[in-house]
């Protein structure tokens, strides 16, 4: 049974006029890795459960009234998620899944579709042209890559470990204008990738075990550090601490209203809701 801690903060769907009460913390999750919020205010959390045990992973849904339900079952090790065209796309070990809004799960692309068999598919991002971008974190120290999946399900390599800057790519954020932000879990460096040329430019460093990556409408960039349990903001090409004490902070997202960071804490099995205005401690 999942337990909720309620009513300290409120999060609203982008279109809502009235305040909808949602939890400030959800506890009792099973190794949560990633979170997204849909336009209707619903929140989806990927739960790995036991690493390496197939079939025990799931996606949990928290509706805009705070009600919790299991959205999809029988996954293996679900990680990154993104919404596109009324489907939820999820990385799961060496494949990418597409989940309909009724919870029906489809294999979107399997391991054989990739130019090289993936090791550890991690984050996933979408652009405005129905393309997906997926990070492969390799062995979490090296051997990683970033792939593009077009609307015909053709998979191509954006960057891979032939570039010495590519070690264990993790968090992704599409900026538009053929630009993709990526933070590396091993080096803790944030890069900007030109999607036309594949060239990488260092933006900032010092992000430890960089995991979740979000960019606000005003251009502020926040990165969760899984290894050190903190959240940093990009400031003058360096990491600026804005929140700490967040054990194994994983693939976070920005709320639809842009006011909160939704942060899964993998080892404690929690989902934290952090007000950006009061994030600095």
CA–CA distance from 118 to each of 5, 49, 107, 111, 143 (Å)?
Answer: 38, 21, 15, 7, 10
End-to-end CA distance of the chain: 32
125: number of Cβ within 10 Å: 22
Give kind and range of the element (H or E) at residue 146. Answer: strand 145-149
- Distance, in Å, from the CA atom of 272 to the CA atom of 56, rounded to the nearest integer, reads 23
Domains of the chain: 3-275 (2.120.10.30)
d(CA 44, CA 63): 9
- Beta-strand pair 179-184/3-6: unpaired
Six token digits for residue 261: 């960071």
Query: Three-state SS across 19-39?
Result: CCCCEEEEECCCCEEEEEECC
Phi-psi domain of 245 (left: phi exceeds 0; alpha: psi -120 through 50; beta: other): left
Helix or strand holding residue 180 (H, E): strand 179-184
Can you give the pLDDT of all 281 residues of the chain as single tens digits?
333 333 323 333 333 334 444 457 899 999 999 999 999 999 999 999 999 999 999 999 999 888 899 999 999 999 999 999 999 999 999 999 999 999 999 999 999 999 999 999 999 999 999 999 999 999 999 999 999 999 999 999 999 999 999 999 999 999 998 999 999 999 999 999 999 999 999 999 999 999 999 999 999 999 999 999 999 999 989 999 999 999 999 999 999 999 999 999 999 999 999 998 765 54
Q: In terms of Cα–Cα distance, which of 160, 165, 162 is closest to 146? A: 160
Q: What's the confidence (pLDDT) of residue 279?
A: 58
């Amino acid at each position: 049974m999942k337990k909720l801690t309620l009513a300290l903060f409120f999060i609203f769907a982008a279109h809502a006029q009235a305040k909808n009460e949602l939890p400030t913390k959800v506890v009792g999750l099973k190794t949560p890795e990633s979170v997204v919020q849909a336009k209707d205010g619903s929140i989806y959390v990927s739960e790995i459960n036991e690493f390496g045990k197939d079939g025990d992973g799931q996606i949990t849904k928290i509706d805009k009234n705070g009600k919790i339900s299991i959205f999809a079952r029988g996954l293996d090790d679900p990680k990154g998620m993104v919404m596109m065209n009324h489907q939820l796309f999820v990385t799961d070990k060496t494949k990418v899944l597409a989940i309909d809004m009724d919870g029906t799960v489809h294999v979107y692309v399997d391991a054989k579709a990739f130019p090289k068999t993936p090791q550890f598919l991690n984050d996933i991002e979408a652009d405005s042209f129905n393309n997906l971008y997926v990070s492969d974190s390799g062995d979490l120290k090296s051997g990683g890559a970033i792939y593009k999946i077009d609307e015909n399900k053709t998979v191509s390599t954006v960057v891979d470990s032939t570039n010495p800057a590519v070690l264990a790519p993790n968090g992704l954020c599409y900026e538009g204008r053929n630009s993709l932000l990526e933070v590396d879990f091993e080096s803790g460096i944030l890069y900007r990738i030109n999607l036309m040329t594949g060239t990488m430019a260092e933006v900032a460093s010092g992000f430890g075990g960089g995991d979740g990556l979000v960019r606000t409408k005003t251009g502020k960039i926040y990165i969760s550090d899984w290894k050190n349990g903190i959240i940093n903001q990009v400031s003058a090409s360096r990491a600026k601490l804005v929140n700490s004490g967040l054990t194994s902070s994983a693939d976070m997202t920005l709320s639809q209203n842009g006011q909160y960071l939704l942060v899964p804490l993998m080892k404690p099995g929690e989902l934290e809701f952090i007000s950006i205005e009061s994030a600095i401690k």
